[in-house]
Amino acid sequence: MKLGKLIIRIDELSDQRVIKFLQDHLQHMREITPPGCVHALDIDALKRPEVTFWTVWDEQTLICCGALKELDPQHAELKSMRTTPAHLEQGVASVLLNHIISEAKKRNYKRLSLETGSYEAFVPARKLYEKFGFSYCGPFSDYATNSNNVFMTIQL
């Protein structure tokens, strides 16, 4: 599949296509992650003032999303990265991740961290983060260690 001109925009989470995309994301996370271990943000949490949520569009088609959550003035968390199955392995997530890292640097964060799953289904995500220089670390913020998740961070 050839991509057209990608548009990355801050999203106010009012478009029904975006809401459905996020609902599907949460449902998928609940299907592949044990109860109590899903840390994806719901729509209300993504609308909080400390969160900036972006969507990526190929013309009128929503293909990817991601968010940046401020934990404190020097530390932010990457949240809600998701690419449509039809657009996996086409570099879309890399484009958005690069955008979010650039934005985190503009905001003068010193560190960007994330939590993701430890399962096989999350290997592509972990490889993406490794490619961008994220390294494995211990839990941060309010997270606790368990066998279902891993933590990664990058100094900016």
Judged on CB neighbours under 10 Å (0-12, 13-18, 19+), 131 is exposed
Q: What is the pLDDT of residues 47-93, one digit of tens each?
A: 999 999 999 999 889 999 999 999 999 999 999 999 998 888 889 99
Task: Identify the CA nearest to 96 among candidates 111, 84, 107, 110.
Answer: 84
pLDDT at 26 over 90: no
Q: What is the pLDDT of residues 126-149, one digit of tens each?
A: 999 999 999 999 999 998 888 889
What pLDDT does residue 122 have?
86
What pLDDT does residue 30 have?
78
What pLDDT does residue 111 have?
98
Q: Are strands 111-117 and 135-137 parallel, antiparallel or unpaired?
A: unpaired
Q: What is the pLDDT of residues 83-124, one digit of tens each?
A: 998 888 889 999 999 999 999 999 999 999 999 988 888 899
Handedness of CA 69, 92, 63, 99 (dihedral sign): positive
What pLDDT does residue 37 have?
66
What pLDDT does residue 138 have?
95
End-to-end Cα separation, the chain, in angstroms: 33
